[in-house]
Amino acid sequence: MNQTGGPQWANPEVTRPDAVVQEEEFFAPLSTLDEPVMETIMRDVHAVASKLKVVMLPMERNIPYGGYAGVSQSENVEITDRDKEIIQRLKDWDLWGPLVVCLGLAVLLSFKAPAGQASLVFAAVFCAVWIGSAVVTVNAQLLGGTISFFQSVCVLGYCVFPMTLAAVVVDLFKMIPLGAFSTLVELAVLVVAFLWSTRASSVFIGQYIAAPRRVLAVFPVLFFYTFLAWMILLF
């Protein structure tokens, strides 16, 4: 992958004569004809993997609110370099990652659900992720944010990944007989996952909204992940 993201043909050089550039820009996508299908697939796989990695970057500790600049009321939001990097990477959006993450979470939770409710849990989680992120985005747009729909859905979807991992971790903890402590341990894991999930997403949503209305836009984001965490805790 090159730095600007996307395949080579998406970034035509500007130094060449106009006619050549126009011609190349026109035919460029078609020139991937000779590209092996494997290469095309691997390009998408790499893009998804790098974004999943970037979502899991550790938090920075030496900033107030633990990185929750998104909820602050000051007009100039201080975004840490790491958050900036995460958001920048996620802006080059795709929906494959969210699809995989969301299917993973839905399948995991439906395995653990009681026999009669498996399909209900699956459907609920699947719909919650997609409809939920759409609603959160539309809400932010209605509050006056100049936010791109697909970028926002992408960020919200990728940020579900810590939740999916938490579901796995909670599952692993269930194998250890912890007795009365098990719920506490699960709760602790989910709180960490919640902080991890909402860090980048709330900052991302928050930076597009004017300070007085920022809480109104960020609150649904927190609610979205709270719902998912609650689903994980239930099953």
By CB under 8 A, tell whether 118 contacts other proteins.
yes
Binding residue for other proteins, selected from 37, 38, 175, 180, defined by CB under 8 A: 37
32 Ramachandran zone, left/alpha/beta (phi>0; psi -120 to 50)? alpha
Q: What gap in Å lies between CA 146 and CA 224, rounded to an integer?
A: 21
Is 127 among the residues that bind other proteins (CB under 8 A)?
yes
Is 30 near other proteins (CB under 8 A)?
Answer: yes
Q: Is 126 in the site for other proteins (CB under 8 A)?
A: yes
Nearer to other proteins, 7 or 195 (CB): 7
Cα–Cα nearest to 214, from 72, 28, 55:
72
Half-sphere exposure of 208 (CA within 13 A, CB side): 22
Closer CB to other proteins, residue 44 or residue 60?
44
Q: In one letter, which amino acid is 68?
A: Y
Candidates 68-76, 112-120, 165-173, 183-191: pick the segment binding other proteins (CB under 8 A).
Answer: 112-120
Applying CB under 8 A, does 54 fall inside the site for other proteins? no
- Residue 75: CB minimum distance to other proteins, A: 19
Binding pattern to other proteins, positions 141-160, x when CB under 8 A? -----x-x-xx---------
**How crowded is residue 107: how many other Cβ atoms within 10 Å of its Cβ?**
16
From the CB of 180, what's the least distance to other proteins, in Å?
Answer: 32
Amino acid at 48: V
User: Cβ distance 175 to 218 under 8 Å?
Assistant: no
Among 16, 22, 39, 40, binds other proteins (CB under 8 A): 40
Q: What number of residues does the chain have?
A: 235
How far is Cα 221 from Cα 110, in angstroms, rounded to an integer?
A: 24
φ, ψ of residue 125 in degrees (nearest 5): -65, -45
Give 28 or 195: the residue with its C-beta nearer to other proteins: 28
Under the binding rule (CB under 8 A), the answer on residue 110 touching other proteins is: yes
Alpha-carbon torsion, ordered 152, 158, 162, 166, to 10 deg: 110
Residues that bind other proteins (CB under 8 A): 5-6, 10, 26-34, 37, 40, 44, 91-93, 96, 99, 103, 106-107, 110, 115-116, 118-120, 122-123, 126-127, 146, 148, 150-151
